Amino acid sequence: MVIGWSKFKPNPVHFWRSLSRKGKLAVVLIFLFIVTVSGYLIWNKTKVTSVVPQTSVKVEKGSIRVTVNGSGPVAAAREHVFKAPGESTVKEILFKEGDLVEAGQAVMVLDSPLVEAQAAKSLGQAGQAQADLNELKRQMDDLNYRAPYPARVTSLKVNPGDRVTKGTAILSLVHSDKANLNIPAGEAASLILPGNKVFITLLEYGETLSGTITGSGSPYTNNGKNLVSFSVKLNSGSVLQNDTLVTATVTTVQGEREISGVLKPAPALEVKAAADGIVKDIYVQGNDTVAENTLLFSLDSPGLEAQYQAKLASLKEAELNQADSAIKLQELVLTAPFTGIYHGVVDNTGPKNTFLQVGDTISTNQNLGKIVSQDSVQVSFTVDELDIMKVKIGQKAKITADALKGKEFTGEVVRIAQEGIVQNGVAFYWVTVEVKNWQGLLLGMTADVEIVVAEKEDALVLPITAVQDFRGKKYVLLKDSSRKKQDGATTGQRGMPENAVPVEIGMHNENLVEIVRGLEAGQEVLLPEIKRPINNSGAAVPRMGVPIPAGGRPPER
């Protein structure tokens, strides 16, 4: 019996349906494994490794400089903003937008009745306080009373230890150098003038006194008689106590005139206590003749001393208020503190884009414009915490701006912030560079700044990529023709390529590094080779990571 092949021909659908769930999963996994392995074998067969040819450089002598770079807007290095000292109105505007203002010139004058009234009030209060203090000072001085002129003590009215009140009579004085000469009115009296010399004979005492007429005659009437009284300054003093008949010889413009009259002592001065207190001491007795400035008595007055100290404090307070008011009054005149360009401010309450006008009302601390110095401008930018210690005050800087192609400006570091601003865990510090020859730069332009923080001439230098690191030590790979022993150096140390030479480096920047020890000028050093996979079409396959030097990365021990 012949059985046909068609009877046993495989049926995929029947086979798939006949499988259990686990069987179906096994078939799918086997299929995916076959596809993955086949793809990898095909890719690996077509992959080609491209090695960038390894190049070398010579160790050369040259200059190397380290810089810190940044950018920021150009701003005025010095400006003064005018602020309104209080509620006021604009009285005068003496400059317009863009005008050059010299230091000390008034830019604007404000009017404030309140400030002016306060200034006048504080001035009056300070003046009154000073007058009160002067009076207390006089009273304090009078506690130790001295003779105001040569005098004779005519009476004492208290004793040491007595308690007195202000105004209590202490003693009486008569001026010993002054008297009044009373003579009949007539032709002789009319000839007497201030400054005339006079000799007076006291008929009762037989004594002659000399003196000078010191005042014009004062006419008066006594018992129906017309008399004239002249004040006389006596040259030698007098013990005159009562009215005395005299004969006087006066030298006038028409010669000497002899006149009879009466010499009267000067009016007595009653000295009173300047304040409440206790008589501390009395230094004279009755009828004593004393010279000018002789100490006559002393009083103790604690109350007056307390009043004086209180008034002194009041005066100081009044003077401070006066000074403050004077400053506020002066602030009504806005004056340029330095020479610069005046920039006005737009009045937001008026028409759009209208500058302040005379008569405008302004509020306390309102911005009234500013003066911008033309001497220099500055650029401020931030430097991170890794570089900030390299930056020092006074370091030179190069400034450029994209808006001014081909033009360079010079400057120097003038300010370094002492407190940083932390962003994403890194501290940044503001650095300010002042630009001197800034003509051409405009305020607000973005400028690039390069600060030279280190510089060296005639140094051994290499590209920074030529120096590699192995366990914290720096080394380079010498080209075969340059391999030779250095003083104290070895090549091919354990774990390193045979042509590896340890080096000591100095300063470096993004491109160059200084070789301090380990190499000589003229030696050739290999740059690290870079291996890159390419596909069969010849296109390079990008790789991430740092290029590995020839010979591979030194193995870790």
**402: domain CATH number?**
2.40.30.170
Torsion of CA 309, 312, 313, 318, to 10 degrees: 160
In a domain, 243, yes or no: yes
Do 91 and 199 lie in a common domain? Answer: no
Per-residue pLDDT at 249: 94
Per-residue pLDDT at 544: 30
Do 482 and 520 lie in a common domain? Answer: yes
pLDDT tens digits, 127-137:
999 999 998 88
Tell me the DSSP string of 62-76.
EEEEEEEEEEEEEEE
Tell me how many domains the chain contains: 6
Do 207 and 346 lie in a common domain? Answer: no
From 397, 431, 457, the end of a domain falls on: 457
- Whole-model pTM: value is 0.46
Do 397 and 502 lie in a common domain? Answer: no
Per-residue pLDDT at 47: 53
CATH code (residue 463): 2.40.420.20
Cβ atoms of 296 and 282 closer than 8 Å = yes
Per-residue pLDDT at 550: 32
CA-angle at 405, arms to 399 and 408, nearest 5°: 30
> In which residue ranges of the chain is pLDDT below 70?
1-25, 27-28, 35, 37, 39-53, 237-239, 346-354, 481-495, 530-557
In a domain, 538, yes or no: no
Which regions of 236-332 does DSSP assign to beta strands (E)?
244-252, 255-265, 268-272, 277-282, 289-290, 295-300
CA distance 415 to 28: 72
- Residue 178 makes CB contacts below 8 A (sequence gap 6+) with 149, 214, 231, 232, 233, 234, 266
In a domain, 392, yes or no: yes
Per-residue pLDDT at 51: 53
Per-residue pLDDT at 492: 54
CA distance 434 to 74: 10
Do 497 and 524 lie in a common domain? Answer: yes
CA distance 496 to 485: 16
In a domain, 553, yes or no: no
CA distance 240 to 487: 121
Do 127 and 179 lie in a common domain? Answer: no
In a domain, 266, yes or no: yes
Do 238 and 293 lie in a common domain? Answer: yes
Per-residue pLDDT at 414: 95
Q: Domain span at residue 227?
A: 145-300
Do 336 and 449 lie in a common domain? Answer: no
In a domain, 544, yes or no: no
Do 404 and 367 lie in a common domain? Answer: no
In a domain, 542, yes or no: no
- Residue 482 makes CB contacts below 8 A (sequence gap 6+) with 523, 524, 525
Do 296 and 319 lie in a common domain? Answer: no
- Residue 319 makes CB contacts below 8 A (sequence gap 6+) with 126, 129
